[in-house]
Structure 1
Amino acid sequence: MGALDGKVALVTGGSRGIGRGIAERLGRDGALVALTYAQASKEADEVVERIRANGGEAFAIQAEFGQRGDAARLWEAFDARTPRPGVDIVVNNAARGSNQDLASVTEEEFDKVFAVNVRTPFFIIQEAVERMRDGGRIINISSGATRLAMPNIIAYAPTKSAVDNLTLHLAKLLGPRGITANSVAPGFVDTDMNADWLRNDEEAWARSAAISALGRVGEPRDIADIVAFLASDDARWITGQVIDATGGSLI
């Protein structure tokens, strides 16, 4: 018996990187996993097939985020596709990066990053609550950048601070239903998205590893295992928290 047998999970941005690691781990633990992707349809299909090959259930939903109504369209597609109505676990992982300093950020870029990283998760949760069974789990993927000064991502970091604050309010609001809400804040993680400046740059890799108390760069499974714990019944007494998943960066 898996820890999540009988549960239904939605993982946004589940075709690559951290999201893929989360989707595959929840699938191994027994959850039926619905994962979203923006453009990477091939990668999304690979994740679905991998989960199924391991005896799990999964399906992928194409979803573009950042436009008004995107959350409602996602849930319409979810309702039409899921073999089991309702949801138990929602992981807001999809996000838009913004590697620009204060002088470079335009109003257009600012609006886009907040639309994807704050507005979309907010309305995904708003729609999820009416579908979520009591005892459910909301897990928002935040960032270690909320506590580390990184001026080169000055528009991105505040979006994750907003997500952490949203998590706090959700924990209080939904607690009477036994629904927990927590954030997970990764540090430097080896993903395709970070390949150009991290994986393919030996100096950047060494610097990033040195920042961690554990002396290495994170892997998607490091984050996925924490999310799986929060999704399980073992984490039933944890809510309203930001779980640092940076490997002890700059402590």
Structure 2
Amino acid sequence: MSQTTDHHVALVTGGSRGLGRSTVLALAARGVDTIFTYVANRAAAEEVVQRVEQAGARTVALPLDTSDTNAFPAFVTAVQDALATLGRERIDYLVNNAGTSHHQSIAETTGDELDALYQVHFKGVFLLTQALLPLLRDGGRIVNLSSGLTRFSFPGSAAYASMKGAIEVLTRYLAKELGPRGIAVNTVAPGAIATDFSGGLVRDDANVNRQVAGVTALGRVGEPEDIGPMIASLLSESGRWINAQRIEVSGGMML
């Protein structure tokens, strides 16, 4: 059981798998309650709920497709209900993590693919953050997930990385506009991580795994547990003066 008694609440999108799951569990280990979203895999969400409760924290799993911006008003109401069950009126932290992958050259990327990426990775993040601002307490924090791919370039990642580049700009503008409310906003940019993202490419393809390790100073691919605890640490009181920053967490990729 955590010794933390302030019962802060974080909202994490895409919390049933990968980096979001790692973040929810790392926050639970610090005594932070959560509300997290999942798209369709209720069983995976329930497993995370059980893990959080075993850690002595509380969580509520809510279904949400972050590309469906028309669903946001109803989602905000669901968040208010979830907060009530947690005994709170406001969220303290928002982690915009939910995302999809895309691997296609610029020449072959279709307009529909570009639109789909935009809906999830920029429009969804922008409008969900906007919708949740009334529920985010003054002095709270926002973390937006970007990618190492905004700094180094791999062919086939242009569309995805460009959306993440837009998120990095949005982060700075959020920090500026929300500064009067004491809300700090930062970007966390993971390198290549061994998850089921991109069909488990980094995790399951030995060739890719070896290539990533070869261009990483610390000599291996990243794991979800390299990211979630870092985000939890950034949201802690010790991170209170970090604002409008892009923090790459890649083990030193492509130096």
3-state SS of paired residue (2:253): coil
Residue 26 of structure 1 aligns with an amino acid whose one-letter code is L
User: Counterpart in 2 of 1:56?
Assistant: 57
Identical pairs, percent: 39
User: Counterpart in 1 of 2:107?
Assistant: 103
Q: Give how far 1:71 is off.
A: 2.8
TM-score (norm 2): 0.94
3-state SS of paired residue (1:69): helix
For structure 2, which runs of at least 5 residues remain unmatched after alignment? none
User: Counterpart in 2 of 1:159?
Assistant: 163
1:29 and 2:5 aligned: no
TM-score (norm 1): 0.95
1:182 and 2:189 aligned: no
CA RMSD of aligned residues (A): 1.4
Q: Give how far 1:67 is off.
A: 2.3
In the alignment, the residues of structure 2 paired with residue 212 and residue 68 of structure 1 have an alpha-carbon distance, to the nearest angstrom, of 37
1:199 and 2:203 aligned: yes
Q: Deviations over 1:87-142 (max 9, x none)?
A: 11000000121111112211111001111100111111112221111110100011
Aligned residues: 251
Q: Deviations over 1:190-234 (max 9, x none)?
A: 102245422222121111111111111111111112211211111
In the alignment, the residues of structure 1 paired with residue 132 and residue 146 of structure 2 have an alpha-carbon distance, to the nearest angstrom, of 19
Q: Deviations over 1:128-165 (max 9, x none)?
A: 22111111010001100101112202111111001110
Q: Give how far 1:74 is off.
A: 2.2
Q: Give how far 1:3 is off.
A: 5.9
CA 245–4 in structure 1, closer or farther in 2 if over 3 Å, else same: farther
For structure 1, which runs of at least 5 residues remain unmatched after alignment? none
In the alignment, the residues of structure 2 paired with residue 222 and residue 5 of structure 1 have an alpha-carbon distance, to the nearest angstrom, of 25
User: Counterpart in 1 of 2:231?
Assistant: 227
1:132 and 2:136 aligned: yes
Stretches of 4+ aligned residues off by more than 4 angstroms: 1-4
Residue 51 of structure 1 aligns with an amino acid whose one-letter code is V
3-state SS of paired residue (2:16): coil
